[in-house]
Amino acid sequence: MRVSIAQLFAYPRHRIRWMIRKASHSSDLLLLPEAFSSGFQFRKLEQTIEENRFILDIMQENAREYSIAVAGSLFLRDPLSGKIFNQGIFIDRSGEIIHRYAKQNIISVLQEDQYIQPGTPGSVFLFEGIRMGMAICYDLRFPEVFREYTRQNADLFLLPMQWPSIRLENYMLLARARALENQTMLVTANSLQGESGGNSMIVNARGDIITNLKKKTTISSFTLDFNEQNHYRKEFPARKEFLDRNSG
């Protein structure tokens, strides 16, 4: 599977089609950052939510037109409860939303807890034979999020991010730890908007950073080697031993 990571300074609506078209030339999936359409502008939250309804339509239309999956997070209102969530969305090649994940761990230092409701534990979903689990930015600090996905036999973790430059060392350490302790590849797309620090990464099951985009403005494509991951899991079966004790 080939994945494109979008790491750009801003994501105005008129560039979404361009990003999806560009990624489709070389990838099966485009991963966008957390709150990619707006950043954390809570004073404009109602306007953002209204705009995001149309942005989601554009994402679906272009995923279908260019036959590529698209994932990222948006602030959206649940139509049944009326609550607002920081919602991870996964759209498949046909333009269908096949998975939604509401960020579980809301970051109080950014006042997210004053505007956004926390979600419940997520579930693994299947895309073209790969079992995936989504988490969003601050979730990275909470290992139980990823342990739950491991209990559900995840092959890949996807993380839209808005992680700040001042805590980049924490981010890199935590990303490696979550991948290593679960023996599962992890892909992040971190924004360069505002204080966000870029350094979008792919970390393999051994906890090695195999890709780091640093502060580069780019949409870059990479191949994920699940055969190598499966080989390592058999060679050093820590994940299997965890599942033997904790499954069911």
Task: Give the mean pLDDT of the chain.
Answer: 94
Instruction: Output the pTM of the full model.
Output: 0.96
> What confidence tier does 241 reach under pLDDT thresholds 50, 70, 90?
very high
Q: What is the pLDDT of residues 99-147, one digit of tens each?
A: 999 999 999 888 899 999 999 999 999 999 999 999 999 999 999 999 9
pLDDT for position 38: 86
> What confidence tier does 52 reach under pLDDT thresholds 50, 70, 90?
very high
For the residues 10-19, what does the mean pLDDT come to?
Answer: 79
Would you call 100 exposed, middle or buried from its count of C-beta atoms within 10 A (0-12, 13-18, 19+)? middle
Give yes or no for residue 207 having a pLDDT over 90: yes
pLDDT for position 227: 97
Q: What is the pLDDT of residues 63-102, one digit of tens each?
A: 999 999 999 999 999 988 899 999 999 999 999 999 999 9
Q: 241 to each of 146, 174, 194, 219, 221, how far by Cα in Å? A: 16, 22, 42, 37, 33
- The strand pairing partners of 2, in sequence order, are 223
Give yes or no for residue 247 having a pLDDT over 80: no
pLDDT for position 248: 59
pLDDT for position 61: 97
Q: What is the pLDDT of residues 208-232, one digit of tens each?
A: 999 999 999 999 999 999 999 999 9
Look-up of token digits 């602030």:
75
Q: Which comes out higher in pLDDT, residue 141 or 38? A: 141
Sort strands 156-161 and 130-134 into parallel, antiparallel or unpaired.
parallel
pLDDT for position 13: 63
Give yes or no for residue 32 having a pLDDT over 90: yes
Would you call 157 exposed, middle or buried from its count of C-beta atoms within 10 A (0-12, 13-18, 19+)? buried
Q: What is the pLDDT of residues 158-167, one digit of tens each?
A: 999 999 999 9
Domain ranges of the chain: 2-246
Secondary structure E strands in the chain:
2-7, 29-31, 69-77, 84-91, 97-102, 125-127, 130-134, 156-161, 185-190, 201-203, 209-212, 218-223
Q: In whole angstroms, give the CA distance from residue 124 to residue 113.
A: 25
Q: In whole angstroms, give the CA distance from residue 122 to residue 14.
A: 31
> What confidence tier does 12 reach under pLDDT thresholds 50, 70, 90?
low
**Topology (CATH) of 2-246:** Nitrilase/N-carbamoyl-D-aminoacid amidohydrolase (3.60.110)
Quick check: helix, strand or coil at residue 94?
coil
pLDDT for position 11: 66
